[in-house]
Amino acid sequence: MVLNVGKPQDPTGLTIEAWAQGFMVGSLMVMACITFANMRRGVLLHKLILTELVLGMFHGTFIFTNPPVYSWYLSVTAIFLNISWSLHNVIARIKVKPFLPKWGIILFISTLALVQPYWILEITAN
């Protein structure tokens, strides 16, 4: 079964999609500005968070493209979104590391590693 994912054609659907993407990109920009304002020299966590936010922003811009670029651009930006999601989980691991036993950290990282083939397959299928 092939799903035909396309840009919304009706004005209402297009408006809702554009507003949703605008809110997403806007909120990510606000968070990136706050992170940048709080950055300190030598703190890796702040740089990782800023990278995560910037990678997520690209996915909020696919509404501005038209077919056939729309589907291609949607898939490519989904790669950056999934990298951002994985980086988010790495950041979460860094933050909770003091509170987890060794087996908890191993479980956390292994579940993160186990889902990566699924996301690769999902992006490839699109």
Tokens representing residue 40 in the block:
């300190």
Provide the token pair at 81: 């979104």
Q: CA-CA distance, 70 to 72, in Å (whole number)?
A: 6
* Number of other CB atoms surrounding residue 117 within 10 Å: 9
68 secondary structure, DSSP code = T
> Does pTM top 0.85 for this prediction?
no
The per-residue pLDDT string of the chain (126 residues; one tens digit each, 9 = 90 and over) reads 555 667 888 889 889 888 989 999 999 999 999 999 999 988 999 999 999 999 999 988 888 888 888 888 888 898 999 999 999 999 999 999 999 999 999 999 999 999 999 988 888 876
